[in-house]
Structure 1
C-alpha cells in the first residue's frame, strides 16, 4: 500500500511513519496540503493520506476532488483533542490516529481504510484451474482479459496477477471505465496539459503515467466509447500516450489488464467494441466461473468473511453451524462473492449464541436462506413462474416487452442502475439511454432508493 504522509515530521509522526513501513506500507512525505495535491496531480500515486489534524483537511479533500483525485484520508495528532479529532472526521477524514502511536492501531487503520485485505480464497477445482493459468502467465508482459459476472472477483484476480508478476514492486493502478463520464475518462487515463480545456488549471498526470513500470487495470473496459478505444489501441501498440492538449507523445512501460462482465465478442458484432482492440487485450483470457459453479469456494469464503468482519466490528469470531454451511453451499448467490460477503457481514451482527446458525444468514430482503433440500421445489416454482410470464407477454410488441422488462428489473434492484444493467446484460450507458427515452415519453422510471446507487 502507498501511504503519503502530510505534515511536519515531528518525533511522534516519524515514529508513526516507521510503524506504517513495518506494516508493509510504501511511505512518501510532504509538509503541506498544497504539496500533497501537487504530488498526486503530478503522478505520485497514493492509496491513503495520513494528515496532521493541524492542517486544513477539508481544504485538502476539496482540492483533490476538484482534480478528480479520490484518496481516503486519516487524520493524526499529538495530545489528541476530542473536539479537533471530531472536526477532522467531519471534514472528511475516515479515521483518527492519536500520537504517540501504537503499532497495532496503525496496522489496523491502514488495513481497514485501504481494504487491501483481499486474499485469494480458492478451494473449488474449477477456480483452481483459473489460478493455475494465472500463475503460468503472470510473469509475462502479455495483456490479460479477465471476464465473468459482476461480483465474481475480477479485480481480486487482477491484483493477484500483478503480485505474481515481475512488476509486483511497481504500482498497480485501477481505473473503472464505467464510473467515469465519457468526457472525463480520456483525461483520467492519459492526463492533460494546463489550459487543455476549461477547468484544466494545471498539468495532470494520467493513470497511464502513474502506472509506469507497473500494471494498469482497465475495469469494465466494455463501457469505453469508440473514439477512446482507438486512442487506447494506439497506446498499447506504440507504448506511448498523448496527454490531452500535449505537444509530444510520452513513452510508458506498463502491463495492461482488463475486465468485463459482458461478452466482448458480441459487443464487436454489435459494433460497440473494436475488434482489433479485443485482440490486443485478449492475449490470454481468464474466465472466472460464477459462485454457483464453484460450490467448493462458498464455505471457505464465508469463513474468511466471518473472521474479517468479526475483527472489523470488535466481536468474537464464531464458527458456522453445520446447517448454515449446508444452506450456504446450496444457495445460488446471484450476486456472487459480493453478495456472499455482505451476507456474512450481516450474519456477524445478527448471530446469537456460540455459533452462526442458518437464521443469522439473511438475504438482502431480510429472508433467511432456503433449506438445502429446497432446490428442486424452487426450480419447479421458477419454471411455473416463467411459463406465466411468457403468457403475459403474448400480444405485446418487442419494444413494449423490453420496456416492461427494464422497468421491472429496475424496481427489483430498488432503482440501482448498475445492478439492473448487470442483470439485463446490457451496458450502463445503454440502460441510461433507454430510461431517458422512457422518461421523455412520460413513463415513470423508478428512482434510486436510499442506499441504492444511481450510477
Structure 2
C-alpha cells in the first residue's frame, strides 16, 4: 500500500513511519498541504494519509473533498493530547493514533485500510460458495488458480484473498503476462543485473523480489512462453530466483496467485502449458461463475457500483428505479461484472432525476440499452434460421479459409486489438499472433491496432 505522511517526521512520527515501512508500506512525505495535495493528485493512488494533529486537518480534508480525492485520513498525536484527538475526529479524520506508536496498532490500521474497500459483493449461492472457499484457504500459503471468463473479477478475487491472508499488510504485486512482450517478461518477473543485455544500464529488481513477503499475481498466465514457465516452476519449487545475467540465486518469500480465462488442461494437451507447472499452481482452484450464472448478484452489484461512483464523483446517491432494475435483470451481460460496472458508472453520470431510471442505461456509444437485453424466443428462432443459412454458405470451403475469415473479421470488429480478439475467439494471443504473421506473409491485409482492415479487390 502507499502511505502519505503529512507533518513533521521528527521523533515519534518518524517511528510510526518506520513501522509502516517495515510492514510493506511505501511512504511519501509532505512538509506542507500543497505538497500533500500534489502527491494525492499524482498518478499512483494513495491508500492512506497519516497527519500530525499539529497540522490543519480540516482544510486538508476539505481540499480533498473539493477535488473528489478519496483516501482515509488518520490523525497522529501524543497520548495525553485528548482535546487534539477529539478535534481531529470532528474535522474528519477516520481514526486517531496515539504517539509513541504501538506496532500492533499500526499493523491493525494498515490491515483495516487494505481490506475495507475489498469486501466481496455476493448474495447468489454460486458466488457465495466461491467466496467461502477463498476465505477458508486465504490464511495458508498455498498457490491458487483463479479461472473464469473475462470480466468476472479474477483480479478482484486475488486481491480479496490477499487481504484475508496473513500477508495482508505486505505488498500485493500484479503482472499481466499477456500485456508484456515475451522478450521483456523474464526481466519484468525476475529482474536483471547491470550489463545483462543491451540497454541494461543498472540492476533492476523484478516483481518476484518486489512482492517478497506478500503476494504475486500472475494475470493470464496461459500467455507465458513455455521456456519461461520452466524458470517459474523452479522459483515456485525452490523459493529462489535468478536475475537475468545474475551469478547467484536470490531467495524470495511470497504467495503465488495465477489467473486464466482459458482451460489450461486444454493448453497442456496443446503443448503450450507445462503440466507440472499447472499442478504446482492449481493447489486450489477458484472458478468464478459468469454474471449470467449468478443472477442474484446483479442488483446487489448494481447498488454497490451506484454508491461507489456517486461517492467518487461527488454526486448524491440516487437509488436505481424499479424499471431500471428490471432492465438490468433482463440483460445477458456478455462482459460480466466489468460490463455491469461500466454501465452503472455511466448511469450515475447521466441520471438527472431523483432516481437512476432506464433512460440512463445506455451503451458506450449512446445506443439504447434495451438492445442488450436477453433475446426473445422469436429473435432466437430468427437467429437459428440465419445460422443455418450461414452454415450452407460455408459448404465447399476449406477449414483454413473459414478460420482465416473468422479471425480477420473478429480482429476487424475489435479495431485491431489483438487481446480482445483472442479473448473472443477463445485462443491465446500467441496463437493469434502466429496466424496473423502467416497471413501477412501471404500478402493478406491484417488490421493494425486502432484500424479497420483494408479490403483487397478480388
Q: TM-score range, shorter-chain basis?
A: 0.7 to 0.9
Match of 1:260 in 2: 260
Which runs of 5 or more structure 1 residues have no equivalent in the other structure?
Answer: 30-43, 54-74, 451-455
Specify the SS of the correspondent of 1:131: helix
Distance 1:261 1:414 in 2: 22
Cα distance, 1:159 vs structure 2: 0.8
Cα distance, 1:147 vs structure 2: 0.3
Cα distance, 1:50 vs structure 2: 7.2
Distance 2:118 2:416 in 1: 29
Deviations 1:147-193 (A, max 9, x none): 00111000111111111111112211111111111111111111111
Match of 2:328 in 1: 328
Deviations 1:28-69 (A, max 9, x none): 69xxxxxxxxxxxxxx885x967899xxxxxxxxxxxxxxxx
Distance 2:119 2:225 in 1: 33
Match of 1:200 in 2: 200
Q: Quick check: which has more Rg, 1 or 2?
A: 2
Match of 2:131 in 1: 131
Shift of the 318–222 alpha-carbon distance from structure 1 to 2, 3 Å rule, reads same
Specify the SS of the correspondent of 2:175: strand
Cα distance, 1:342 vs structure 2: 1.1
Cα distance, 1:27 vs structure 2: 6.0
Distance 1:302 1:168 in 2: 28
How many residues of Structure 1 are paired with residues of Structure 2 in the alignment? Answer: 393
Contact kept? 2:25, 2:169, Cα under 8 Å: no
Match of 1:109 among 69, 74, 93: 69
Cα distance, 1:350 vs structure 2: 2.1
Match of 2:416 in 1: 415
Contact kept? 1:360, 1:368, Cα under 8 Å: no
Shift of the 261–214 alpha-carbon distance from structure 1 to 2, 3 Å rule, reads same
Specify the SS of the correspondent of 2:218: strand
Distance 1:76 1:27 in 2: 23
TM-score (norm 2): 0.77
TM-score (norm 1): 0.77
Match of 1:66 in 2: none
Q: 269-278 or 117-126: which moved more?
A: 117-126
Distance 1:305 1:403 in 2: 40
Match of 1:67 in 2: none
Match of 1:391 in 2: 392
Distance 1:209 1:247 in 2: 16
Match of 1:236 in 2: 236
Contact kept? 2:118, 2:159, Cα under 8 Å: no
Deviations 1:107-166 (A, max 9, x none): 863559x99945411111100111111111111111110000111000111111111111
Residue 77 (str. 1) matches residue 35 (str. 2): yes
Distance 1:198 1:398 in 2: 43
Contact kept? 2:221, 2:259, Cα under 8 Å: yes
Distance 1:276 1:396 in 2: 40
Distance 2:203 2:123 in 1: 47
